[in-house]
């Protein structure tokens, strides 16, 4: 088995409380990955020559983690992706990101009104931090880190897609990734846009978005808009591994003791095997 990509969750804490977040469906205690566990992971992956890419992210906000500086500094020789809400970034962290990270994926779930409604936060602060990354890149004559935007699509924010493409162009984003809302409450279940069968509305929406993104020079990544046949998640043979902080071991994956979602949240690790 070959391990090529590792997902590392440094914390399950977050500085926001978004209305559509998974965190609203569980009551796990806030947890940070320990330095001991991080050093153990770092040592073990050092011997895996096939590992090329590491993603710092998860349900938690990685910039809230005490180990964020340690992790970016120690793992920057991999293709390093940081997924973040980009709300709180000081000069020291931004400088480190520009020096060591390859891709910064920023979560923005709507323009100002919808962003404020979903995230109860100020979008202007996020935009400014993305612009600061671009200015630091230019000053350092660097092409990376590339900046991308992640957009969780629902009935609440579908009308923002075109303006989100405009924003992506304004902040010189490398790509815009649209994903489906995975509802954690009955209220949010009414807001999904995907359907079980043919979805003509979704196709029209995406066709329009694709044409506009092409015009603006933005790479657009789209989700499925029709439910497909259910398939079990295969643990063996997986080419990716989430890592966080507890003690349940599955071949080539790190899982936590948390009850099952289609992601692996914070606190799990013993040993990577091949």
| Domain coordinates in residue numbering, the chain | 1-83+231-274, 85-91+98-228
Torsional sign, CA 264, 265, 270, 272: positive
| Domain 85-91+98-228 is found in CATH 3.80.30.10 | yes
Q: What is the mean pLDDT of residues 35-55?
A: 92
Q: What is the mean pLDDT of residues 51-68?
A: 92
Q: What is the mean pLDDT of residues 220-232?
A: 62
Assessment of whether the complete model's pTM goes beyond 0.75: yes
Confidence of residue 16 (pLDDT cuts 50, 70, 90): confident
Instruction: Find tokens 């899982």 and name the residue.
Output: 255
Quick count: other Cβ atoms within 10 Å of Cβ 203?
Answer: 12
* 232, pLDDT greater than 80: no
Q: Are 67 and 10 in contact (CB under 8 A)?
A: yes
């Amino acid at each position: 088995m070959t391990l090529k990509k590792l997902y590392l969750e440094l914390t399950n804490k977050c500085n926001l409380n978004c209305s559509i977040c998974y965190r609203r469906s569980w009551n796990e205690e806030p947890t940070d990955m320990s330095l001991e566990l991080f050093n153990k992971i770092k040592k073990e992956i050092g011997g895996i020559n096939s590992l090329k890419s590491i993603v710092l992210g998860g349900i938690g906000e990685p910039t809230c983690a005490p180990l964020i500086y340690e992790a970016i500094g120690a793992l920057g020789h991999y293709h390093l992706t940081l997924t973040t809400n980009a709300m709180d970034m000081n000069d020291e962290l931004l400088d480190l990101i520009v020096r060591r990270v390859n891709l910064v994926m920023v979560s923005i779930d709507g323009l100002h009104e919808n962003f404020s409604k979903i995230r109860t936060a100020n979008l202007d602060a996020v935009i400014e931090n993305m612009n600061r990354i671009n200015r630091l890149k230019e000053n350092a004559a660097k092409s990376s880190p590339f900046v991308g935007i992640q957009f969780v699509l629902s009935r609440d924010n579908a009308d923002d897609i075109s303006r989100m493409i405009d924003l992506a162009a304004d902040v010189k984003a490398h790509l815009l990734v649209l994903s489906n809302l995975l509802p954690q409450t009955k209220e949010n279940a009414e807001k999904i846009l995907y359907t079980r069968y043919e979805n003509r509305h979704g196709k029209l929406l995406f066709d329009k978005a694709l044409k506009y993104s092409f015009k603006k020079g933005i790479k657009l990544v789209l989700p499925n808009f029709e439910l497909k046949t259910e398939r079990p998640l295969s643990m063996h043979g997986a080419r990716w591994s989430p890592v966080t902080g507890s003690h349940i071991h599955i071949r080539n994956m790190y899982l936590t003791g948390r009850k099952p979602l289609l992601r692996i949240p914070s606190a799990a690790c013993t040993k990577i095997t091949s």
